[in-house]
Amino acid sequence: MEFNGYKRGDGRYGVRNHVMAISTVACASGVVDAIGRVFPDVTAIHYAYGCGYGPDDFFTSLNTMSGFVSNPNVGAVLVIGLGCELLKSEYIAQAVKGKPVESFDVQQYGSAASTKKGIDIVEKFLAHVEIQKRQPAPVSDLIVGLVCGGSDAFSGVTANPSVGVASDMLVKQGATVIMGETTEMIGAAHILKNRCDDKDLSEKIEKLVLDQEKFVRDYLGEWAGLVIAPGNMDGGLSSITEKSLGCITKSGTTPIRQLVDYAAKPTKAGLTIMNTTGYDIDDMAGMTAGGAQIILFTTGRGTPAGFPAIPVIKVSSNTSTFKSMAGDIDINAGSILDGEKDIASVGGEIFQMVFKVASGETTRAEINKSRPFNCLKQGPSF
Amino acid sequence: MKDNALRVNPYDNVVIAIQHIGKGDAVTIGSETLFNTVQDIEPSHKIAVIAIKSGERVIRYGEPILEAMVDIPKGGWVHVHNAQPIIIPQQNERKGDRR
């Protein structure tokens, strides 16, 4: 199977052709906003931190932002800094290979002149991407991220198993699938451990989950057993183990091929585990920095969240949420509860939609321009 | 009669309500009436298929997910008010990893 994508200079294929303007620190976001008002089709993004923070957060944000703007769905990128922040705009720009990139700092020119400069650059970028055409790309160039957010007790019964079917089909075709949300693997280490290709990987996955469990227990003490959002408890889930078992079903049944750090690129086709948190936006940032061009996102209680430059396909676990958030959800796995469809047929529908979306069909979150951005930050600001 | 609950795994001792089930109403899965509830059950919540005694495990996906804090009757609602997360064994404290 193939999809029609935009070939980049680094050999990867984008499923979108976005021109992006991004600030590396919140202080510079006004200029990005001004550019976004002039060009509504430009993906104008803020990063909320970037100023004073520790080395772990610095390198996490550097890797994430560099990976994210390098994502093949971005056709050209303008990086705007303030000038005095730790996360310099030029560091991010230097990481971008094989496509147009420029960077500058607002302290060089002031807001008004920076905006004018930014508009000129973006105009040039738009002209560049406009003439690019989609061309056939092999499935082996497709990376799909798996996310669940606002889960309810039906997520693990309808939507996640359906995505699991689609995952298996994608892997069979040669694609790469990334599952994250390490916190939501707690209690399921013994299952994941037995799904690994080799003993070394099996031990790494088990250690990852058990270490995360220990971290949660040490950090949260007697609250540790209930590391699930209150929304999830209203939905009938009573413990992280219950949620985890329902969560990991979206990875299907194929062997785990690789474990990668947050924001790192998978190097093997098949199922990859990425060490991410359960916060959907941070999770998607890590996966898209790792090269995911599409996200499959299951939700029980519903969420409008997409992600900048990345088509996010929403799968609801129940028809009530599908109806109340009809403009936000792409596929309704609640039809399984209604007796209209089964898991295999919804899984097939999701698989088909991945290919349609890869070749240009828009998702609800894209139409709504719902594209929150954030990335992992765990330490203090200084 | 239309199903109002579903069973995830044959080894489970809970089933999941797929619609509101009133107190005393029949729980129907695969067009078969299994038992009656002892209280109102909200959609997507768990119902005990058999009596679960205090200290016994609640099984879903074929795996233990909770431990009953009180005796839960057959047809009872199972959630955080009557079941707690299982105290996780210290299996992650490996050699040299004990803090």
What is the full per-residue pLDDT of chain A (382 aa) written as tens digits? 899 999 999 999 999 999 999 999 999 999 999 999 999 999 999 999 999 999 999 999 999 999 999 999 999 999 999 999 999 999 999 999 999 999 999 999 999 999 999 999 999 999 999 999 999 999 999 999 999 998 887 888 899 999 999 999 999 999 999 999 998 898 788 778 889 979 999 999 999 999 998 898 888 887 876 664 434 567 788 877 788 888 998 999 899 999 999 999 999 999 999 999 989 999 999 999 999 999 999 999 899 999 999 999 999 999 999 999 999 999 999 998 887 888 899 999 999 999 999 999 999 999 999 999 999 999 999 8
CA atoms within 13 A on the CB side of A193: 12
Report angle CA A85, A90, A95 to the nearest 5 degrees: 125
CA atoms within 13 A on the CB side of A103: 19
Residue A84: φ, ψ to 5°: -100, 0
Q: Based on the number of CB atoms within 10 Å of its own CB, is A276 exposed (0-12), middle (13-18) or buried (19 or more)?
A: buried
Sequence spans of domains, chain A: 18-131, 139-367
Sequence spans of domains, chain B: 5-84
Query: What residues of B are in contact with residue A300 (Cβ under 8 Å)?
Result: 44
Query: What residues of B are in contact with residue A214 (Cβ under 8 Å)?
Result: 92-93
Cα of B20 to nearest chain A Cα, Å: 12
Find the CB nearest A239 among B43, B45, B65: B65
Query: In this structure, what token pair is assigned to residue A19?
Result: 């021109």
Find the CB nearest B44 among A154, A214, A224: A154
Query: What residues of A are in contact with residue B88 (Cβ under 8 Å)?
Result: 187, 213, 217, 225
Locate all alpha helices (DSSP H) within A6-83, ordered by sequence.
29-38, 55-70
Which fold is adopted by the domain A18-131?
Answer: Rossmann fold (3.40.50)
User: Residue B28: helix, strand or coil by DSSP?
Assistant: strand
Could you tell me which CATH class the domain B5-84 is placed in? mainly beta
Q: Kindly give the parts of chain B with pLDDT less than 50.
A: 90-99
What one-character-per-residue DSSP string does A148-173 give? Answer: E-S--TTIIIIIHHHHHHHHHHHHHT
* Residues in chain A whose Cβ is within 8 Å of chain B: 152-154, 156-157, 187, 191, 210-211, 213-214, 217-218, 224-226, 233, 235-236, 238-242, 245-246, 300, 318, 320, 337, 339
Please tell me the predicted confidence (pLDDT) of residue A230.
Answer: 38
CA atoms within 13 A on the CB side of A162: 35
Supply the ipTM of this predicted assembly: 0.88
Please tell me the predicted confidence (pLDDT) of residue B1.
Answer: 67
Please tell me the predicted confidence (pLDDT) of residue B94.
Answer: 41
DSSP-derived secondary structure letter, B59: E
Query: What residues of B are in contact with residue A342 (Cβ under 8 Å)?
Result: none
Cα of B3 to nearest chain A Cα, Å: 9
Query: In this structure, what token pair is assigned to residue A53?
Result: 């923070």
Alpha-carbon span A355 to A11, nearest angstrom: 20
CB contact under 8 A, A239 and B86: yes
Contact B25, B37 (CB under 8 A): yes
Query: In this structure, what token pair is assigned to residue A244?
Result: 């985890």
Task: Determine how β-strand A2-7 pairs with β-strand A135-138.
Answer: antiparallel
Contact A66, A146 (CB under 8 A): no
Residue B78, chain A, CB below 8 Å: the answer is: yes
Q: Which residues contact A179 (CB under 8 A, 6 or more apart)?
A: A146, A248, A250, A251, A271, A272, A273, A274
Residue B60, chain A, CB below 8 Å: the answer is: yes
Torsion over CA: A42, A48, A52, A54 (sign): negative
Alpha-carbon span B5 to B27, nearest angstrom: 6
Query: In this structure, what token pair is assigned to residue A70?
Result: 């390098």
Alpha-carbon span B34 to B26, nearest angstrom: 7
